[in-house]
Structure 1
Amino acid sequence: MTQLDPTTPVERPTQRSQAKADRRAALLDAAAGLFAERGFNGVSIEDLGAAAGVSGPAVYRHFASKQAVLEALLVGVSERLLAGGQEVSENAPGAESALLALIGFHIDFALGEPDTIRVQDRDLDALPDAPRRQVRRLQRRYVEVWMRVLGALHPGLADDELRVRVQGTFGLLNSTPHTARIGGAPVAAAQVRPVLERMAWAALTSD
């Protein structure tokens, strides 16, 4: 592996490139909120631009189409979940701590990005075939990260049961945007988190 020279200056983003990246991130954030509220088909390019503080045509400087925005949103979150899951599981000292870390990692996602979960649930089929298959592949690999950790903790479980336990736990945690509400108002994350942690651990490890 090539070693980097510590004396070599690291190339930093220019002000212009950083501004472009920030605008793209703002558009994706706006898209998550609007798609979650109205559905993919209920949002126009002009709506996306207005929510991010730009004109509709300016959106095309960052994305070729509204479908490209949805693709960036859903492929991007699937990539982040896989990379994050791999990182937390590999850095844990043992199977039990790795599973706890994965649970915490996914709860962070569920509590922090409820709009993205809603869009994933409702609008994945609005993607063209290729990016939809890519999302599914990334999701399967994320499930497999959990299965490997859970299998190390419970080596007697068959793969089919490991998969059911993991996917059932995702169903539990990903329902948070819909269920963690009282009288229509969101419940504070500090109240929800310990409940989710206990329930996820029980779902994964019960005899």
Structure 2
Amino acid sequence: MNQNRQQEIINAAALLFQEKGFSAVSMRDLAAHLNIKAASLYNHISSKQEILASIVLQVAEEFTTHINAISPDDLTTQQKLEAIIQNHIDITIRLTNKLACMNNDWIHLENENKEKYRHLRNTYEDKFRAILKEGKEKGEVKDVDLEIIVFSFLTTLRTLYLWYTKKTSVEVEILQRDLPKTLLNGIIS
């Protein structure tokens, strides 16, 4: 099996899933997009479900691997949160279509892949809460309800791709500089 061709198929599928949604894309659509015969896809991939699982789990594992790596570190809460924000920015820029697919189409995963995704997502959120809780205990995070912080941060970060793809005038360096400041310090001077 040609890994490059398989990755090309997965990347094309992520783009189509972002544009049309998982349910609206057929293997014929994917083949037409790649300018190959539908039967040829099956030389590299077994099903649309396999493609979806590959995309969603890859992105979810990147997020979870990163937060696991910074959680036990001897960093301040602010440094951990800045690292989380920068990771979201990086994934948003590097894997926009796949991130969109994860956010919008994970619900179409089947059986063990759906459970694996939910486990990764819950692990990520639990680690995020633990970082915030520890920060509150150390006096590094304001006395604000943790669930409001979790909601505010993760909603902004998970949907960053929606905003960023429309705001191409915002340079990556400015996004990397100003988003952490805005999320961590607010906007009131």
Whole-angstrom CA distance in 2 between matches of 1:89 and 1:24: 34
Please state how far the C-alpha of 1:140 moved relative to its aligned partner.
0.8
Give the equivalent residue in structure 2 for 1:27: 9
Give the equivalent residue in structure 2 for 1:144: 126
Q: Does the aligned pair in 2 maintain the 1:180–1:192 contact within 8 Å?
A: no
Count of paired positions? 182
Structure 2, unpaired ranges of 5+: none
Whole-angstrom CA distance in 1 between matches of 2:24 and 2:167: 24
Q: Does the aligned pair in 2 maintain the 1:92–1:98 contact within 8 Å?
A: no
TM-score (normalised: structure 1): 0.73
Please state how far the C-alpha of 1:37 moved relative to its aligned partner.
0.7
Structure number, greater radius of gyration? 1
Cα gap change, 1:202 to 1:57, in 2 (>3 Å): farther
Please state how far the C-alpha of 1:51 moved relative to its aligned partner.
4.0
Range that drifts further, 140-149 or 113-122:
113-122
Whole-angstrom CA distance in 2 between matches of 1:26 and 1:91: 36
Q: Does the aligned pair in 2 maintain the 1:89–1:99 contact within 8 Å?
A: no
Q: Percent identity?
A: 22
Give the equivalent residue in structure 2 for 1:40: 22
Structure 1, unpaired ranges of 5+: 1-16
Q: How does 1:1-207 map to 2 (within 5 A)?
A: 20-52=2-34, 54-91=36-73, 93-155=75-137, 161-180=145-164, 184=166, 186-187=168-169, 188-202=171-185
Cα gap change, 1:50 to 1:191, in 2 (>3 Å): farther
SS at match of 1:61: coil
TM-score (normalised: structure 2): 0.79
Please state how far the C-alpha of 1:52 moved relative to its aligned partner.
4.6
Q: Does the aligned pair in 2 maintain the 1:88–1:98 contact within 8 Å?
A: yes
1:12-55 CA-to-partner distances (Å, cap 9, x unmatched) read: xxxxx7xx222222222111111001111222213324445654
